[in-house]
Amino acid sequence: MTKIPQRGALINSEKGLQNSLLTFLKKAAEKKLFDAIMLPMQVPSGDSFAWILIKDMQLLDEATPIAPIMPVNAAKAVKRLTRKGEGSSKIAVLIKPCEVRACVELAKLNQIRTEDIIILSYDCLGALPMQDYIKDPVWGKQEFSAILESKNWNSQFVKPVCKICDKFSLSASDLHFGIIDEQLLAIANSEKGETLLAGMDMKADQELENWKQYIRKIRTKRLASKAETFEVIKTKVAGFANLLDTFSECIGCHNCQSACPICYCRQCYFDSAVSKPNSDVVLMRAEQRGGVSLPLDKIMFHTGRMAHMSLSCISCGLCSDACPVNIPVAKIFSYVASETQKTFEYTAGESFGDALPMKEYKPEELGELGKLVQNAEIQEGGHE
C-alpha cells in the first residue's frame, strides 16, 4: 500500500495548472535539482505531442506539462532511457499516475531502472482519445484547457478508461502535485521528493486532509461508474461465444499490443515464426471446421495477452487509442485485469515494494498444487 504523506507545500497556482507546473520546474532546473527533464511537447505540425528529454532548460517554455493526449505511455520512454542501467545524470520525468504505475510494473520486471530518475506526477483529469484529438486538434486543445481550468473531473470528452479511473491521484512517484479547487500542493512521497522540496526551499506545512477528502469524493463517483461499466463488459467476455463476438471486427493488426507499455516480453510468440503455420496447416484447420477466419488466431492473441499481462495492466487506455476498428480493448483489459489482480490480491503499479505474484514463490502455493495433483489422482482412480 502507498503510504500517504501527511503534509504538502503550497504552490502559487494563480496562473493556471500548466504555468504553475512550468514555473516550479524552471525554478528546480535553475537550482540544478536535476540535469534533464522529460516532458510532453507539441510536435511541429501541431496535431500531436511527443516526449522530449530537455537538457537546454530554455526549451521548458515550449513544453506542455499536461498534454491533452497520451500518444505513448511515458513508461516506454523511461524504459528506453534507463534499460542499459545506471547513468551519471539525474533525470526528472513529469508523468500521469497510470504512467507511474506502468513504470513500477516495468521496474519489477527489470526493464526500468529508477535510481537516476525522479518521478513527478499530478492528479490527472484524464486525456482525450487520440482519434478525437487528431480529427480536430484546435478543438482538442481548447476543450482540454477548459477541462484543466474548470477542474472538470467528469468531462464527457476524456477517454472511456479515464472516466472510470479511480487511481488518478498519488501513487508511487517521488513528488506528487495535488490539485484541489484553486490550490496546487507539492507532496513529497519519497526521500528523493523530500530532497527536491528542500532544494526548492519549500516547506511542507499544509495539512492534506481537505485534499484527501476532495480526492475521495471523486474516487467514490469513479468507482460507481467503473462498477457499472464492468457489469456491461463482463457480458462481452464471458465465454468463448461472447469473446468471439466482441473481437469479431478485430483485424489482427496487433496495434493494441505495440501500444501497451506492459507487454514486456522481449520476443513475442505472436511475432515469431512458430505462430505462423504454413498453408497446409491452415488448410487442415479449414477442412476440420469448414472454414477459418483470417488473419488467424485472433482470440488466441487476445486471451494470450490477457494471460500474460493482465496482472500488470494499469488501465492506461493506450490499446483502445491504437485500435483502428474501435474495439473497447482498454475497458475489456481493465475488467479482466481487475479480476486477475483481485484473485492474486495485487494492485498493479501501486508500490515498488509489492512483489509481482508471478515472480514470488510462496510455499503455501505448493500446497495448493499438491491438492490439485491429489484431486487429479483421485479422479483418475475413479475412472479405472
Q: Which residues bind ligand SF4 (CB under 6 A)?
A: 250-256, 259-262, 313-319, 322-325, 327, 329-330, 333-334
Minimum CB–partner distance for residue 156 and ligand SF4 (Å) = 20
Beta strands 91-95 and 36-42 are parallel
Identify whether the C-beta of residue 107 lies closer than 8 Å to the C-beta of residue 114: yes
Minimum CB–partner distance for residue 177 and ligand SF4 (Å) = 23
Query: Edge-to-edge, what's the strand order for the sheet holding 49-54?
Result: 49-54, 36-42, 91-95, 117-122, 175-180, 183-188, 7-11, 206-207
- Residue with Cβ nearer ligand SF4 (190 or 334): 334
- Residue with Cβ nearer ligand SF4 (180 or 322): 322
* Distance separating alpha carbons of residues 163 and 127, to the nearest angstrom: 10
Minimum CB–partner distance for residue 301 and ligand SF4 (Å) = 7
- Residue with Cβ nearer ligand SF4 (21 or 329): 329
- Beta-carbon count within 10 A of 26 CB: 15
**DSSP state, residue 63:** B
Minimum CB–partner distance for residue 236 and ligand SF4 (Å) = 13
Residues 63-79 as b or e (16 or more Cβ within 10 Å = b)? bbbbbbbbbbbbbbbbb
Tell me if the bond preceding 295 is cis, omega within 30° of 0: yes
- Residue with Cβ nearer ligand SF4 (223 or 366): 223
- Residue with Cβ nearer ligand SF4 (105 or 174): 105
CA 152 to chain CA centroid, Å, is 21
Minimum CB–partner distance for residue 332 and ligand SF4 (Å) = 9
* Distance separating alpha carbons of residues 380 and 266, to the nearest angstrom: 39
- Residue with Cβ nearer ligand SF4 (33 or 263): 263
Minimum CB–partner distance for residue 70 and ligand SF4 (Å) = 10
